[in-house]
Chain A
Amino acid sequence: MNAPERSESWRLNEGEEKVDYEPDTKIPNAGNFIIKKEDHTLGNLIRMQLLQDRQVRFAGYLMPHPLENIMRVKVQTNGEVTPMDALSTAIEDLTSEVDNLTQRFAEGVLACKRLQESRQYQ
């Protein structure tokens, strides 16, 4: 049978690296990141965050094929930073945004519960 392993869409195969980096040979200050076992969830998130960065000239992502669980991110910078550092910064920023959100949500839930309780006593 040639059916792929069921967990293959999200678990790294044995010995597989999560990220591969290929510097672009034709365009200056550009590189491709091949991120395994990720999809549009992170792809679009990273791309939009990279586009916020003024040192990034180009950022795009694609999933080459829906049955291949990889995602390619292409980054070109203006030369002040490497594509690698630009991506690191973007991820750093996103992590802090998501962590911030986690806290905001917990606060929101607490506030909503308090409101519901105060309504009950009225």
Chain B
Amino acid sequence: MPNTRAPKIEVLELKADFVKFVLSDTDTSVANALRRVMIAEVPTMAIDLVTITENSSALQDEFLAHRLGLVPLRCEPGTKFVYNLDCDCEDNCEQCSVTLSLDVSWESKAAGRPDHEKDLPVFVTSSDLVSHDPRVGPVHFASSDIIDASQDDGIMLAKLSRGQRLQLTAVAKKGIAKEHAKWSPVCVATYQFDPIIKVADDVSATLTVAQRQQVVESCPVKVYGLDERTNNIVVRNRLECMYCDECTNVASSLKLRPEDDAVVTVTASQDRFIFSVETNGTIDADQVVQQALEALSLKLQTLRNELINVKQKILAAA
């Protein structure tokens, strides 16, 4: 007996690195599965193997390798890699990995500096990483508008002083964040329950304008407002609500008798979820959601096929 639901999605906001959408007519378990897959099971590329030829900086090799691993690498949309462990190659090849190299010495960077800056240390950043595959490279900013407006030149990896040098090659591999968080494509992937905020107009009518004002002002995120003409409480920014219960506390303190209805009530909708997803730049935000849904579907299909296998094995044994 099929028990399928027909969930809906409405995209509210879409940028290269951010998407906000409403998922409705489904269960919390689906919303939570989607959130968890976005965080931990959407594959990306990250540096996984570092060969250090020379490191005379103040940082140890391990520390440096860890920092390199955490640098987000952007993949051109449509770029497909296979997992290194599934690949037929011996160590690594273009199908399963990307090589990046870095070679910075204090002398090379400090050359041409004005005299008063001569002795200052130089910075090694992610923009010094040279990718051998044009489709993959260290991400700086998700959108070009911000890149022009900022003076940032990459993620700081190390500082070098006179005579120091850093030379290494790094191999980036495909992976998922279940193995290590460096593979996670998102910074933020959360959902909130859609707030249902009700104003009881009959109760409101029994309150003075000052009391209504008190309820309106109790909300720290300005969900409520007072109607200019009628001086009634109105809901202005419903989606801003963070369930802090300030307004309902004030509302219950305004009750004459404890059994009276409160002037405002805040409840969480059980089947509408507002997702906010912000990526770290490795994949576009809408792609994160799309790939998460595909990954989830793939997981379910694998399980279904495995169940058929198990069933046949049991039948064969009987």
Contact = CB atoms under 8 A, between A and B. Distances in A.
Interface in A11-34: 11, 17-21
B304 A109 contact: no
B246 to A, nearest CB: 32
B9 A95 contact: no
Interface string A91-112: 1111111111110111111011
Interface residues of B, number: 54
Interface in B1-38: 1-14, 19, 21, 23, 26-30, 32-34, 36-37
A18 B179 contact: no
B7 A104 contact: yes
A10 B314 CA distance: 26
Contacts of B40: 41
B10 A108 contact: yes
Given A41-B41, A101-B23, 4 more contacts: A10-B179, A88-B304, A93-B2, A104-B8
B87 to A, nearest CB: 13
B297 interface: yes
Contact of B14 (A41, A53, A109): A109
Contact of A105 (B3, B289, B301, B308): B289
B311 interface: yes
Interface of B: 1-14, 19, 21, 23, 26-30, 32-34, 36-37, 40-41, 85, 176, 178-180, 286, 289-290, 293-294, 296-297, 299-304, 306-311, 314
Contacts of B301: 95
Main secondary structure of the interface of A (DSSP, over half): helix
A92 B29 contact: no
A111 B304 contact: no
A92 B301 CA distance: 8
A95 B302 CA distance: 10
6 contacts: A19-B307, A45-B33, A94-B30, A100-B4, A105-B9, A112-B13
A112 B21 CA distance: 10
B14 A112 contact: yes
Contacts of B303: 18-19, 35, 38, 42, 91
A113 interface: yes
